[in-house]
Chain A
């Protein structure tokens, strides 16, 4: 159960870093071979053959963060106020010592007097590097991923 507590705390902490726009600290959570995927249209589309809302490897992830930090990413100027509730965390051991964690979230996104609610499920694949958990893979399945979306310029 100790492992579970650690994974749970890791996921909560990641959520708080995203809510608080702590971009560098969030980026530091990822492994160098990371895959970050937010599918579009279908939950299980092949991201190599179907377009995704996000399908980043490390260089794209780093660019995403670099852009947000310029202060000239106008879709996030002023930044969204974010508050997400993460729940339904399940954990399983996977091949190669990786840990797979499933969770759900509800996210309130307030910007310029407009409140948007987001819902989704997240799958993390976590790897232990030098004693600390790192994200090797993260898939975010948005409830509305086949609907026209407003801007999603913050971290999800």
Chain B
């Protein structure tokens, strides 16, 4: 029996979206197929598995994968599923697989490269009945952009670079902040969970309307009490939101960064002067003085890559993991600048937990709001969420991106427009049988 087809044109209009998109189990299942199984999905960073045999456990949508570096230092993304009769071969979220991965059930053993290297009693298969070479752990396609690793369960010829599109230059901005031209994600992971849909956080991270309101308790601490927040977020404010296309979005704080070094807090008083100048000198050595000034002016960008990657000041990578239609996990990684003085990276690490962890001054209020959203979806007299702010005033800038003021909703409209295109593809799971 075929399920009634979901009409995404009915649920997603130019200026409003329907609540059902956040609570319908059937839609969630379609997302796991059309979005997470047929797109580049962020899985981790090369620096997380720097050593031979080092691995981390991750997910693409709901599917468990292992990101691992083999003995020849090659990276692999493997499905965490024994080829014999399905069993997780790796039980840990991080570690070193010195002897590869061994299934506890019947002892099938795989090298870190995924190759099947042994099993007890191989004589159970008649000669010619089984080929070891065909039964390694299934490998998932993976591409790297400056160390950021994205996996694709069903590669269709579209490269990672095509997928990144206009968001690529923002990853470049991140890289350009590191005197050695690389970031490292080896300072641990804050893990946060909430009882609401995964798209909440993808929308919220490019919503610049809420910060001075929802986060006022953090904005108006003694340190920020006298600051005129409207000069960033208000009608005359210098922040902009940008729909980068392909579901990616940005909150552009670069004008404010240039004015005050505001978000690049590493250079704003908490770092000894000598470390600050050592850092700037390091950047100048690599980039030259003009591009170094540009990099510092741009500072840590604030953006999202569809469907599950965020980057925020002061140096935080986020990986979004949908668990069910109303449960989501977020992993927060401090992004260390390779080649920068210790003092600067320590400050970035500290601010990650202080601002955006489960006990941070900012992230818990976002999380609580997602759960309030999800609860309110049960009220069904009017199921529409309005996304009309700035619809008439947004403008397309040179280069093609749509831009709006901080308190408008250009970025959410961009996300939903892309989502609709992706979700209107035919399902790959055919239900005629």
Residues of A within 8 A of B (CB): 38, 40-42, 45, 48-56, 60, 63-64, 66-68, 70, 72-75, 112, 114, 146-153, 156
B152-160, B301-309, B358-366, B406-414: which lies at the interface: B358-366
Q: How far is the CB of B94 from chain A (nearest CB, A)?
A: 9
A67 vs B223: C-alpha distance when bound (angstroms)? 12
**Total A-B pairs, Cβ < 8 A:** 106
A40 vs B359: C-alpha distance when bound (angstroms)? 11
Q: Which residues of B contact A52 (CB under 8 A)?
A: 188, 353, 357
Q: How far is the CB of B419 from chain A (nearest CB, A)?
A: 24
Residue A75 contacts which of B216, B334, B346, B364 (CB distance < 8 angstroms)? B364
Check: B93 CB closer than 8 A to any chain A CB: yes
Write the chain A residue with the least CB distance to B352: A51
Q: Which residues of A contact B369 (CB under 8 A)?
A: 74
Residue B187 contacts which of A49, A53, A66, A68 (CB distance < 8 angstroms)? A49
**In contact, B191 and A51 (Cβ under 8 angstroms):** no
Residue B358 contacts which of A60, A64, A74, A149 (CB distance < 8 angstroms)? A149
**In contact, B358 and A53 (Cβ under 8 angstroms):** yes
**In contact, A51 and B365 (Cβ under 8 angstroms):** no
Q: How far is the CB of B365 from chain A (nearest CB, A)?
A: 5
A56 vs B357: C-alpha distance when bound (angstroms)? 13
Q: Which residues of B contact A153 (CB under 8 A)?
A: 359, 364, 368
Check: B338 CB closer than 8 A to any chain A CB: no
A-B CB contact pairs (8 Å), 20 listed: A41-B189, A48-B346, A49-B187, A49-B349, A50-B188, A51-B334, A51-B353, A52-B353, A54-B353, A63-B361, A67-B217, A70-B216, A75-B368, A147-B191, A148-B329, A148-B331, A150-B193, A151-B368, A153-B359, A153-B364
Q: How far is the CB of B169 from chain A (nearest CB, A)?
A: 27
Residue A148 contacts which of B191, B218, B353 (CB distance < 8 angstroms)? B191
Write the chain B residue with the least CB distance to A56: B354
Q: How far is the CB of A77 from chain B (nearest CB, A)?
A: 8
A38 vs B354: C-alpha distance when bound (angstroms)? 11
Q: How far is the CB of B275 from chain A (nearest CB, A)?
A: 14
A151 vs B214: C-alpha distance when bound (angstroms)? 16
Residue A40 contacts which of B195, B218, B354, B357 (CB distance < 8 angstroms)? B357
Provided the pairs A53-B190, A53-B359 are in contact, do residues A40 and B365 lie with their beta carbons within 8 angstroms? Answer: no
In B145-196, which residues have CB < 8 Å from any A CB?
Answer: 187-195
Known A-B contacts: A66-B221, A151-B358. Give 20 more (CB < 8 A).
A38-B359, A50-B187, A51-B334, A52-B353, A54-B357, A63-B223, A63-B361, A64-B361, A67-B218, A70-B216, A70-B217, A73-B365, A74-B214, A74-B365, A75-B364, A114-B195, A148-B191, A148-B192, A150-B358, A153-B364
Q: Which residues of B contact A56 (CB under 8 A)?
A: 354
* 6 interchain residue pairs of minimum CB distance: A75-B364, A148-B193, A148-B191, A50-B188, A72-B217, A149-B358
Check: B96 CB closer than 8 A to any chain A CB: no
**In contact, B368 and A53 (Cβ under 8 angstroms):** no
A150 vs B190: C-alpha distance when bound (angstroms)? 11
Interface centre among A55, A150, A151, A152 (most CB of B within 10 A): A151
**In contact, B364 and A152 (Cβ under 8 angstroms):** yes
Q: Interface digits, B71-93 against A, CB 8 Å rule (1 contact, 0 not)?
A: 00000000000000000000001
Residue A149 contacts which of B191, B221, B350, B365 (CB distance < 8 angstroms)? B191
Provided the pairs A41-B188, A70-B217 are in contact, do residues A51 and B357 lie with their beta carbons within 8 angstroms? Answer: yes
A54 vs B223: C-alpha distance when bound (angstroms)? 19
Check: B222 CB closer than 8 A to any chain A CB: yes
Q: Which residues of A contact B93 (CB under 8 A)?
A: 146
Interface centre among B194, B222, B346, B353 (most CB of A within 10 A): B353
